[in-house]
């Protein structure tokens, strides 16, 4: 048996301008670390996705037969994906930028710039569900809020909540690397005193204590943690539940309504969805 591929690869996918969102969604869902858009011929777009070489076959399978090529990345280490990272926007005024970039293209007066380094474990974070969760936090977070970020990953949502004015943010994740990344990014953005990160389970969050609960963690975990999320939410709290495909929303809606929450809205970007709920 031959050894698995090592290092990094670039999956190159040509697309028309109208196809970019749909193809990018498939690439993000397949677990790529970052996507670069390059201008192609005759108005087309070339999407270049960075991925560990051993995962390239799975990314091609996720494209379901769409034409694509794989290029080896020579002499690449753990940080090879960083060359694909770009700043990206969410909501009306949020701009997320990798801190190693010298400039923040697209950021203007009145924008809130978040410098987020996801470390080795979480890619660039620019997934449609992350953007939707950030946009929802921009809509709902107020100055006196206490926010719970369940499955915090790089800490981008926790940092955003604090930068948007939340009085306190409690971020939890089962991965120690997530806690390290969240603490580092909170420090980088000047909100370390308001962001507490730990590997405590969601069931350990203080009951009835959080005016906003955000969990961008996918259908299975949301179903499993629905009782804990409801318990952590204060009366009147808003819950932002992300990581869902369109056909998975009914499952999560049933789970949250089964523990006494009320589903109030649904956000969409391409095939991805974010469910908004409220504790009465």
In tens, the pLDDT along 117-156 reads: 876 555 556 678 899 999 999 999 999 999 999 999 889 9
pTM for this model (two decimals): 0.75
Cα separation, 82 vs 15, in Å, equals: 23
| Residue ranges of the chain with per-residue pLDDT less than 50 | 1-5, 75-78
Using the structure block, give the residue that is written with the tokens 């794989």. 70
Closest by CA to 221, choosing from 169, 173, 159, is 173
* Residue 155: alpha-carbon gap to chain centroid: 9
Cα separation, 216 vs 274, in Å, equals: 8
DSSP, res 270: T
Query: Which pLDDT belongs to residue 102?
Result: 62
Using the structure block, give the residue that is written with the tokens 């193809």. 23
**What is the three-class DSSP state of 195?**
strand
Closest by CA to 80, choosing from 125, 34, 38, is 34
Residue extent(s) of CATH 3.30.70.120 domains in the chain: 8-83
Q: How many of the other CB atoms lie within 10 Å of CB of 101?
A: 13
Using the structure block, give the residue that is written with the tokens 């960075």. 50
**What is the three-class DSSP state of 32?**
coil
Query: Which pLDDT belongs to residue 37?
Result: 78
| Cβ burial 106-135 (10 Å sphere, 16+ → b, else e) | ebeeeebebbbbbbeebbbbbbbbbbbbbb
DSSP, res 85: -
Residue extent(s) of CATH 3.40.50.150 domains in the chain: 127-278
Class (C level, CATH) for 8-83: alpha beta
The answer to whether 197 and 164 are in contact (CB under 8 A) is no
Bridge partner list, 36: 48
Mean pLDDT (the chain) is 86
Query: Which pLDDT belongs to residue 77?
Result: 47
Going by their DSSP bridges, the two strands 34-39 and 45-52 should be labelled as antiparallel
DSSP, res 254: H
Query: Which pLDDT belongs to residue 85?
Result: 63
The answer to whether 222 and 249 are in contact (CB under 8 A) is no
Q: Which helix (H) or strand (E) holds 211?
A: strand 210-216
CATH topology of domain 127-278: Rossmann fold (3.40.50)
């Amino acid at each position: 048996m031959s050894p698995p591929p090592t290092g990094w690869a670039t999956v190159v996918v040509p697309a028309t301008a109208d196809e970019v969102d749909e193809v990018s969604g498939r690439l993000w869902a397949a677990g790529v670390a970052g996507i670069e858009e390059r201008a192609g011929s005759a108005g087309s777009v070339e999407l270049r996705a960075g991925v560990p070489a051993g995962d390239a076959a799975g990314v091609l399978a996720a494209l379901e037969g769409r034409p694509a090529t794989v290029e080896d990345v020579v002499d690449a280490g753990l940080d090879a994906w960083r060359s694909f990272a770009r700043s990206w926007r969410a909501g009306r005024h949020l701009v997320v930028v990798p801190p190693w970039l010298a400039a923040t293209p697209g950021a203007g007066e009145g924008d809130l710039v978040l410098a987020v380094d996801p470390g080795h474990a979480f890619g660039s974070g620019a997934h449609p569900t992350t953007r939707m969760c950030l946009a929802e936090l921009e809509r709902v977070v107020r100055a006196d809020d206490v926010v719970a970020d369940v499955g915090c990953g790089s800490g981008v949502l926790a940092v955003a909540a604090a930068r948007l004015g939340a009085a306190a943010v409690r971020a939890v994740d089962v991965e120690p690397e997530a806690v390290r990344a969240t603490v580092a990014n909170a420090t980088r953005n000047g909100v370390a005193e308001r962001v507490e990160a730990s590997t405590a389970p969601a069931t350990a969050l203080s009951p009835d204590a959080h005016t906003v609960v955000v969990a961008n963690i996918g259908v299975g975990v949301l179903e499993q943690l629905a009782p804990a999320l409801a318990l952590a939410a204060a009366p009147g709290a808003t819950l932002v539940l992300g990581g869902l495909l369109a056909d998975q929303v009914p499952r999560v809606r049933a789970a949250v309504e089964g523990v006494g929450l009320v589903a109030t809205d649904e956000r969409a970007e391409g095939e991805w969805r974010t469910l908004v709920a409220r504790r009465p």
